[in-house]
Amino acid sequence: MIELITNQPIIAALVALGLLALFFGALLGFASVQFKVEGDPIVEQLDSLLPQTQCGQCGYPGCRPYAEQIAQGDEINKCPPGGQTTVEAIAELMGVEAPQLDSGGAESADIKRVAVIREDECIGCTKCIQACPMDAILGAAKQMHTVISDECTGCDLCVEPCPVDCIDMLPIPVTLQNWAWQKPNPNIIATDNPQHQAA
């Protein structure tokens, strides 16, 4: 075997490369097991509950940093794109009572909204495209832009950068695809009504 390797330099090079690959592969495998960094499982679960819009309305640069802050004790109601359902899911995971959604100044956070560009006023500056974390705005420089309504999360980040103020946030119209039953009034039964119990 040694004589074959010494007489054949190409085989010797291949054997040497194979041995080096085996050595460094074993070294990397050992290092990955020995120096493995454990993640916080609660952060992973919180991050999976957030809508992943990376819009920054919560005050953090994305959903994962907000999940990390929630795990450290921050408020759980700072995600307008997720809505009240996300707040309730996080509260259930954390074992706390669900507070009301902090809409952050939005007039009605429970109403799902979508951005609509008034296309005849659009100058094609692309500032809204750069601001959109979901890539829901389609267009090019000096060309008309439009919003892909199925991709828009209503995060409102495209409105402020627009220099001609041609973006409106409109409520999503009710259609057969998004219609849902209204939740019943919790005081529908007379004996459950606090006024009836006081009497």
How far apart CA 189 and CA 185 sit, in angstroms, is 9
**Residue 125 annotated in ligand binding:** yes
How far apart CA 162 and CA 141 sit, in angstroms, is 13
Q: Provide CB contacts within 8 A for 97, sequence distance 6+.
A: 91
**Residue 166 annotated in ligand binding:** no
User: How many angstroms from the chain centroid is the CA of residue 142?
Assistant: 30
Query: Long-range contacts of range 85-91, CB-CB < 8 Å, 24 or more positions apart?
Result: 86/49, 86/50, 86/51, 89/49, 90/46, 90/49
- The dihedrals phi and psi of 105, each to the nearest 5 degrees, come to 95, -5
What region does 155 belong to: left with phi over 0, alpha with psi -120 to 50, or beta? alpha
**Residue 128 annotated in ligand binding:** yes
**Residue 158 annotated in ligand binding:** yes
Query: Long-range contacts of range 18-25, CB-CB < 8 Å, 24 or more positions apart?
Result: none
Q: List, as residue ranges, the binding site.
A: 55, 58, 63, 79, 122, 125, 128, 132, 152, 155, 158, 162
Q: List, as residue ranges, the binding site for [4Fe-4S] cluster.
A: 55, 58, 63, 79, 122, 125, 128, 132, 152, 155, 158, 162
